């Protein structure tokens, strides 16, 4: 891919998100989301592998379904209310359809099944864009229409926390684990959205920061599988020493950064007399904590003083100790 085409696609991603942010009209907001989708599809296929093509096709079908549902719901809402204003989404049927379409856009359970499969076929850089930037525009629309049905958002949030934690249990591919991690964290944000929107923004900003750090760490060490974590210390020791802290922060362990948003969310749910929901969210988050600890354990096994010489990259090279021709 030439630099000109690559720059055009990156600029299109920015334009699409900005258009959705600045829109109060459903059609313009939908147009911004579509610009985002069309801009990231060429980035997904730039590796020219069958797996990338399969992931791109799945992503296109999932996004096309969500976009068609969103446009239908927006048109129906305009028919019932006589306007296209995003804040005038008062009809229960169109509101539910819009929420489910946007939930499919960002990968909330039970409409999440496309995301792990798509992430597995992408490079780490494109996966980072999909896990962070591509969620901004749909989440902005969810943020604006949220006050109408707290029960729907609580159901989506709890299902996402369960699906994100349970789905990552037996995974060994880091990109799939990161996809399930994204689903679980989005569940926490949607869970509290109807009661404290500012707290949702705090959780979302924290998620973006931690996810970017973790993707950057994996990109620098070129690790895509849990087994390859054992050799990351020999590549970049300093970065490898910080990665378990990022993983545990994503898991929400105190006193790390990721603990504060979850603690505040649980506190706010308790204030709203939703102690049972808070207990369920805390218990289900233990599923996610399991695979974060699993990744941290895989990395710390080969950190000093437990770093054997046999894990050095030059000793693992298939050409090592071969006789010259």
User: Can you give the pLDDT at residue 114?
Assistant: 92
Lowest mean pLDDT among 63-77, 179-193, 293-307: 293-307
Res. 65: pLDDT tops 90: yes
DSSP 7-75: HHHHHHHHHHHHHHHH--BHHHHHHHHHHHHHHHHHHHTTT--HHHHHHHHHHHHHHHHHHHHHHHHHH
Tell how far CA 1 is from the center of its chain. 26
Give me the pLDDT at residue 229, please.
Answer: 81
Mean pLDDT of the chain: 86
Band (pLDDT 50/70/90 cuts) for residue 299 is confident
As a whole number, mean pLDDT of residues 168-176 equals 87
pTM over 0.85: yes
Predicted pLDDT of residue 305: 62
What band does 86 get if pLDDT is binned at 50, 70 and 90? confident
Query: Does the pLDDT at position 51 exceed 80?
Result: yes
Q: So what's the pLDDT on residue 310?
A: 43
Domain ranges, ordered by start, for the chain? 149-308
Q: What is the DSSP letter of 272?
A: T
- What is the mean pLDDT of the segment spanning 278-292? 90
- The larger pLDDT score, comparing residue 151 to residue 323, is at 151
Report the pLDDT averaged over residues 55-81: 92
Per-residue pLDDT of 198-219, as tens digits, reads: 999 999 999 999 999 999 989 8
Q: Is the pLDDT of residue 96 over 60?
A: yes
pLDDT of res. 320: 46
Pick left, alpha or beta for residue 259 (phi over 0 → left; psi -120 to 50 → alpha; otherwise beta): alpha
């Amino acid at each position: 891919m030439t630099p000109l085409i690559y720059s055009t696609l990156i600029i299109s991603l920015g334009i699409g998100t900005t258009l959705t942010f600045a829109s109060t009209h459903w059609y313009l907001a939908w147009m911004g989301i579509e610009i985002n989708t069309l801009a990231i599809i060429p980035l997904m296929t730039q590796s020219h592998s069958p797996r990338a093509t399969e992931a791109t096709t799945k992503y296109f079908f999932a996004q096309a379904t969500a976009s068609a549902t969103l446009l239908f719901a927006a048109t129906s809402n305009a028919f019932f209310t006589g306007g296209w204003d995003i804040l005038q989404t008062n009809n229960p049927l169109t509101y539910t359809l819009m929420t489910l379409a946007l939930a499919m856009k960002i990968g909330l359970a039970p409409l999440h099944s496309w995301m792990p499969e798509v992430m597995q076929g992408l490079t780490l850089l494109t996966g980072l864009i999909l896990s962070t930037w591509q969620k901004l525009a749909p989440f902005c629309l969810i943020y604006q229409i949220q006050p109408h049905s707290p029960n729907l958002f609580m159901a989506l949030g709890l299902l996402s926390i369960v699906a994100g934690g349970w789905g990552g249990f037996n995974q060994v591919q880091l990109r799939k684990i990161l996809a399930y991690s994204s689903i679980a964290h989005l569940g926490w944000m949607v869970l509290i959205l109807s009661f404290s929107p500012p707290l949702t923004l705090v959780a979302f900003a924290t998620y973006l920061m931690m996810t970017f750090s973790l993707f950057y760490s994996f990109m620098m060490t070129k690790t895509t599988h849990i087994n390859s974590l054992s050799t990351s210390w020999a590549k970049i020791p300093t970065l490898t020493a910080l990665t378990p802290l990022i993983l545990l922060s994503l898991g929400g362990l105190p006193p790390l950064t990721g603990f504060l948003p979850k603690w505040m969310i649980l506190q706010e749910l308790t204030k709203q007399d939703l102690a049972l929901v808070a207990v369920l969210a805390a218990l289900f988050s233990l599923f996610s904590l399991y695979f974060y600890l699993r990744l941290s354990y895989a990395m710390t096994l080969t950190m000093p003083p437990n770093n054997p010489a046999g894990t050095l990259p030059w000793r693992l090279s298939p050409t090592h100790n071969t006789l010259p021709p």
